Amino acid sequence: MKRYGNLINGNMDNAGIEYDVISPIDGSIYAKAVKASEEKTKEAIDIAYDAREKWENIPLSGRKKIFAKMVSIFEEKLDDYARIEAENTGRTLRQSVFMDTNIALEHMRYFSTTNEFKSSRKIKHPEYPQSYGIVQNRPIGVVGAITPWNVPLLMAVWKIFPALLAGNTMVLKPSHYTPATTFELALDLKRAGLPDGVLNIVTGEGSVIGKALAKSEKVRGLSFTGSTETGRNVTRNAAGTIKKIVMELGGKSPNIVLEDADLERAAKGVLFGIFLHSGQLCESGSRLLVQSSIKEKFLRVLESYAERMKSGDPLDMNTDIGAITTAEQYDKIRNMIRRAEDDGAKVFYRKTIEGSVPKGGFYIGPTIMDNLSPGMEIASEEVFGPVLSVLEFDKISEAVEIANQSNYGLACGVWSKDTRKAIKVANMINAGTVWINDYHLISAAAPRGGFGNSGIGRELGREGIYEFTESRHFFVSDENNELVDLSFGLIVSD
C-alpha cells in the first residue's frame, strides 16, 4: 500500500494525521496519506517563497529542459499513471489510458516546447519615435493551487506547468480524496531535475489548507478549480490580500441538437458529453436542448446507444461505466434525482447496473431525465453525476434563450450539419468553450475557462501562462530626443 506524506522542499514529510484514501471502485483502502496542518502549509509557503529567486534565475530554456525530461519519464510510466488514476478516482481504466494520461502527456509536451510565451518583447512608442519600450512579463512569485477530486492528474498538470514555466514557485493542494497521481507527478518532476522547494504538495482539508493559501501575503496568486460555492469562500478568504485569482468553477453546460444534425453522431457526442467519467467533469454537457421536431426520435437513438454501455469492474478495459468518486457525491446525486422525481420529472432511461459492478463501490447507472422545465433544480443546478436533463425547443432563438438562462457559462455543444449555422448559434451562447459537432476535447494551446458563475481567468494556452505574470515597461529614450526635451521644457526652461 502506498503512503504519501506532504512533499515539502523535495522531501516527504510524514508529520500530521494519517488517513485512509478510499478507492470508490470497491470501497477498499487504496493508500495512506497525511493531512497537513495550517502550520505545515505555512512552512510549505515559506519554502516556496525562498525558492523564487533560484527558479526565476533559471532561463526559460532551462525550465523547458526540465519539463522535456519529465515528458520522457511520464511517457515511460503511462500505464502506471493510468492505473493509479483509475484506482483512486473510480473512472474506467480505458478512459484513463486513452484520455487522461495521453492528454496529460501532450499538454506537458506543449509546455516544454511552446514559443507562445515570451518573457519580454520590444515595442515602439507611436508618440515618441526617438524611443522604444521593453515590456517584461515577470513571475508573480508564489502561486497557490487547489485542485478537485475528479481529474487530479490533468488538473495538476494544468496548474503546475504554466505557472512554473513563467518562473513562479508553487504550493499545490490536491483533494484529500484523490491525491495519488499528484504526488507521483511531483516526485517524477523532482527526478526530472526540478529544484527542491519550487513545487510543494500539501493535502488535507480545504478549510485549513485552502484558507491558509488564500490568506497568505506571500502567496501572490491563486489557481482554484472546484465548486462555485467553494470558489466564493476562497475569494472571501483572499479579500484581505491583493493577489491574482484564476477560478474554474461549476457548470450546467448545454448540448444543443438542431433538427438538421447527424442524429447518430450527435447521440454518441451527447452521451460522451455527459457520461464520460460518470458526468463528474465541470464542463459535462448535462443539459440536452433538442429541437421538438426530432426529440422523440433522438431520445430513442440515445437510449439504444446507452444500452450498449457496459457496466462492470472499472479496471476491466471493456468497462464503459465508472464509479462515483466519493460517497458524499454519490449521496448528493441520488438525492437530486429523487427530488426531481418529486417535482414531476420523469426518468426516461436509467441503465440497470446492479449485480455487475464491484461490491462496496459507489455506482449510479446512466440516467436521462425528461418532462422538465428550465427552472427545475435538476435542469438548472450542477449535478456532477451521470444525469442528463432533457429540454426541448421549437426555434433556435428559444434554444439560445434556454442555454443562456443559466448563471453558469463554462461550455456548450452545438450539433448541425450546417457548420456555418452552428457557428452562428455558438456566437450567441455565453460560454468559455463551444464545441461544434464535438464535445470534451481540450487543447493545451487553447484557453479554458468560464463566464459568470463558472469562474474568472483562463487556464491553458498562452493566456494561461500570462495569468500568473506581472507586466512591466521599460521606457528607453535616446539622449537627443526632441520630444522629451520639449516635455522637460514645460517645467524647466533652458
Pair 201, 185: CB distance under 8 Å: no
Confidence check: pLDDT of 478 > 90: no
Which pLDDT band, with edges at 50, 70 and 90, does 435 fall under? very high
In a shared domain, residues 224 and 315: no
Which sign does the torsion angle of CA 353, 354, 360, 365 carry? positive
Q: Evaluate whether residue 468 is within a structural domain.
A: yes
Mean pLDDT of 254-281: 98
Cell of 293: 421536431
Determine the Cα angle at 199 with ends 325 and 329, to 5°. Answer: 15
Q: Write the CB contacts of 479 (distance below 8 Å, at least 6 apart in sequence).
A: none
pLDDT single digits (tens) 127-175: 888 899 999 999 999 999 999 999 999 999 999 999 999 999 999 999 9
Give the structural domain span for 464. Answer: 2-249+454-474
Pair 36, 45: CB distance under 8 Å: no
pLDDT for 489? 86
Which pLDDT band, with edges at 50, 70 and 90, does 480 fall under? confident
Confidence check: pLDDT of 494 > 80: no
Cα atoms in the 13 Å half-sphere on the side-chain side of 313: 6
Q: What would the DSSP string read from start to end of 45-95?
A: HHHHHHTHHHHHTS-HHHHHHHHHHHHHHHHHTHHHHHHHHHHHH---HHH
Q: Write the CB contacts of 382 (distance below 8 Å, at least 6 apart in sequence).
A: 227, 228, 250, 251, 252, 286, 408
pLDDT single digits (tens) 232-252: 999 999 999 999 999 999 999
Q: Where are the beta strands (DSSP E) in 120-274?
A: 120-124, 131-139, 142-146, 169-173, 199-201, 219-225, 244-248, 254-257
Question: What is the maximal distance between C-alpha atoms in the chain?
Answer: 94
Q: Evaluate whether residue 414 is within a structural domain.
A: yes
pLDDT for 81? 98
Q: Evaluate whether residue 139 is within a structural domain.
A: yes
d(CA 427, CA 434): 9
pLDDT above 70 covers what percent of the chain? Answer: 100
Q: Evaluate whether residue 446 is within a structural domain.
A: no
d(CA 492, CA 494): 7
Which sign does the torsion angle of CA 405, 345, 356, 354 carry? positive
d(CA 274, CA 260): 21
Q: What are phi and psi of 8, to 5 degrees?
A: -130, 125
pLDDT for 485? 80
Pair 199, 161: CB distance under 8 Å: no
Pair 157, 106: CB distance under 8 Å: no
In a shared domain, residues 465 and 411: no
Confidence check: pLDDT of 482 > 90: no
Q: Which of 38, 40, 54 is nearest to 169 (CA)?
A: 54
pTM attached to this predicted model: 0.95
Q: Which of 200, 203, 184, 170 is nearest to 101 (CA)?
A: 184
In a shared domain, residues 395 and 333: yes
Confidence check: pLDDT of 61 > 80: yes
Q: Evaluate whether residue 333 is within a structural domain.
A: yes
Confidence check: pLDDT of 289 > 80: yes
In a shared domain, residues 237 and 312: no
Residue 228 host element (H or E): helix 228-238
Secondary structure (3-state) at 460: coil
pLDDT for 88? 98
Cell of 489: 521644457
Please report, as a single letter, which amino acid is at residue 482. Answer: E
pLDDT for 364? 98
Confidence check: pLDDT of 458 > 80: yes
Residues annotated as catalytic are: 248, 282
pLDDT for 127? 86
pLDDT for 179? 98
Please report, as a single letter, which amino acid is at residue 411. Answer: A
In a shared domain, residues 375 and 458: no
Confidence check: pLDDT of 1 > 90: no
Q: How many CB atoms lie within 10 A of CB 133?
A: 15
d(CA 5, CA 14): 4
Q: Evaluate whether residue 345 is within a structural domain.
A: yes
Q: What's the structural domain count of the chain?
A: 2
pLDDT for 279? 98
In a shared domain, residues 458 and 421: no
In a shared domain, residues 192 and 124: yes
Pair 339, 377: CB distance under 8 Å: yes
Confidence check: pLDDT of 40 > 90: yes
In a shared domain, residues 20 and 162: yes
Q: Could you tell me the CA-to-CA distances from 18 to 123, 135, 215, 302 in Å, in that order?
A: 54, 48, 25, 45
Q: Evaluate whether residue 271 is within a structural domain.
A: yes
d(CA 203, CA 83): 21
Q: What are phi and psi of 308, to 5 degrees?
A: -80, -15
pLDDT for 484? 79
In a shared domain, residues 231 and 297: no
Domain with 285 in it: what CATH number? 3.40.309.10
Q: Evaluate whether residue 491 is within a structural domain.
A: no
pLDDT single digits (tens) 97-133: 999 999 999 999 999 999 999 999 999 999 888 899 9
pLDDT above 90 covers what percent of the chain? Answer: 95
Mean pLDDT of the chain: 96
Mean pLDDT of 16-35: 97
pLDDT for 395? 98
In a shared domain, residues 242 and 261: no
Domain with 136 in it: what CATH number? 3.40.605.10
**What is the per-residue burial (b if ≥16 Cβ within 10 Å, else e) of 98-130?**
ebbbebbbebbbbbbebeebebeeeeeeeebee
pLDDT for 91? 97
In a shared domain, residues 241 and 258: no
Mean pLDDT of 452-457: 97
In a shared domain, residues 114 and 236: yes
pLDDT for 487? 84
d(CA 413, CA 266): 10
pLDDT single digits (tens) 358-412: 999 999 999 999 999 999 999 999 999 999 999 999 999 999 999 999 999 999 9
Q: Which of 121, 415, 420, 133 is nearest to 294 (CA)?
A: 415
Confidence check: pLDDT of 223 > 90: yes
